[in-house]
Amino acid sequence: MIAGPLATIDLGVIAENLLTLQIMCGNTEVAATIKADGYGLGAIRLAKTLYGAGCRTFYVAHLEEALAVRALHADTTIYVLHGIPKGHETEAFEKNITPIITDLGTLTRMRETAKNIGKAIPVNLHVDTGMNRIGFGATEWNMLVHTPSLIDGVDVKMVMSHFACSDEPLHPMNEQQREKFIGATKHFVSAKKTLANSHGVFLGSQMHFDQVRPGRALSGTNGLKGLKNALSVHAPIIQLRSIDSNGTVGYGATQRVQKGMRLAALAYGYADGLHRVFSNSDQTTGHHFYLHGIAVPVIGRVSMDLVMVDVSKVPENLVHVGGMVEIVGAHQSIDDWAAQIGTIGYELMTHLGNRIERSYIEVKS
């Protein structure tokens, strides 16, 4: 039922992007980060597609996300960035879900679990290299590498870290993080190493180590070279109106309209992920979508289920109820759209609401 907004996701493009990344990375494994419901595109559909294209390793943030991905295939490695919540350690082990350990406290919990079940538990150790977010800090890491008993019963399969500024290729922190990472991982000779997220892949092969773990790059939505965009978003016109007399539009009566203007109401509101700061296009903000390639400015406040756009510049015979207005597509990428409100495409992708129908273009076999 196309009654509301529609996101079209081309799974063939996503499979192709994985192969492009794999060619770029040579012998380095390309894992896929599909947390936050695959950045809003649908983690399950992405995981199936990427598996079909050869991917066998997935990163998610929460255990629940990991369990959903495990239900698809038995022969994948699944890493959980936030680790395993207390009380679920054995369940995670039995489901072959690998925790990412970020501090000594959670490491202790894993060691105790290993002791209880009498088997070694595979883990991925996340060492912080300057982001100061999650991951072992310098003091704890130093303690860890000099106290072998701390990893009794855990099998360190992988050591990872995370870039803070990889979207700025010339930022000095990238190289500093690489050097810190090499220093930190030399203590785990037999473990594999991974540092690069989507943008990290494009910093060069010195950042690839044994594995890269792109997320959004797989959808080609962030303009990285050689990758194709897999996403478009459209919203239907549910009513057209010619303004009868000068007045205002929407909540708070914040924007004036003139007699004769033609407005279209779109079924796309803040509940669907259109932030309220998109309200009231003017010469400064310029908030707009596209209809038949013509920019249509946002008029009045964005409301929960609706937004009004000015379609006066679009020929009348091209505007009708049921017509789809382009939010993201040929005329603006999700990053262009996000830039209108000073944010990044990542945020708006993960805010694509539940009422937006996801339509998938299947991989051609």
Give catalytic residues, as residue numbers.
35, 251
Write down the least CB distance from residue 133 to a copy of itself, Å.
Answer: 5
Structure tokens at 301: 């406040």
The residue (of 16 and 181) whose beta carbon lies closer to a copy of itself is: 181
The residue (of 9 and 53) whose beta carbon lies closer to a copy of itself is: 9
Compute the Cα dihedral for 193, 199, 201, 205 and give only its sign: negative
In terms of Cα–Cα distance, which of 169, 236, 168 is closest to 206? 169
Write down the least CB distance from residue 253 to a copy of itself, Å.
Answer: 5
Is the distance from CB of 223 to CB of 240 less than 8 angstroms?
Answer: no
The residue (of 88 and 187) whose beta carbon lies closer to a copy of itself is: 88
Write down the least CB distance from residue 27 to a copy of itself, Å.
Answer: 29
Specify the amino acid at residue 157. K
Sequence-separated (6 or more) residues with CB below 8 Å from residue 283: none
Write down the least CB distance from residue 272 to a copy of itself, Å.
Answer: 8
Compute the distance between CA of residue 162 and CA of residue 200 in angstroms, rounded to an integer: 9
Compute the Cα dihedral for 309, 313, 314, 317 and give only its sign: positive
Write down the least CB distance from residue 209 to a copy of itself, Å.
Answer: 21
Assign residue 117 a region (left: φ > 0; alpha: ψ between -120 and 50; beta: otherwise). Answer: alpha
Write down the least CB distance from residue 26 to a copy of itself, Å.
Answer: 28
The residue (of 202 and 346) whose beta carbon lies closer to a copy of itself is: 346
Distance spanning both ends of the chain, measured CA to CA:
26
Is the distance from CB of 179 to CB of 213 less than 8 angstroms?
Answer: no
In terms of Cα–Cα distance, which of 98, 45, 46, 5 is closest to 217? 46
The residue (of 83 and 297) whose beta carbon lies closer to a copy of itself is: 83
The residue (of 271 and 363) whose beta carbon lies closer to a copy of itself is: 271
Residue 82: how many CB atoms within 10 A of its CB?
17
Write down the least CB distance from residue 250 to a copy of itself, Å.
Answer: 5
In terms of Cα–Cα distance, which of 34, 37, 6, 2 is closest to 18? 34
The residue (of 25 and 36) whose beta carbon lies closer to a copy of itself is: 36
In terms of Cα–Cα distance, which of 283, 302, 270, 290 is closest to 336? 290
The per-residue b/e assignment along 175-198, b for 16 or more CB within 10 angstroms, e otherwise, is: eebbebbeebbebbeebbbbbbbb
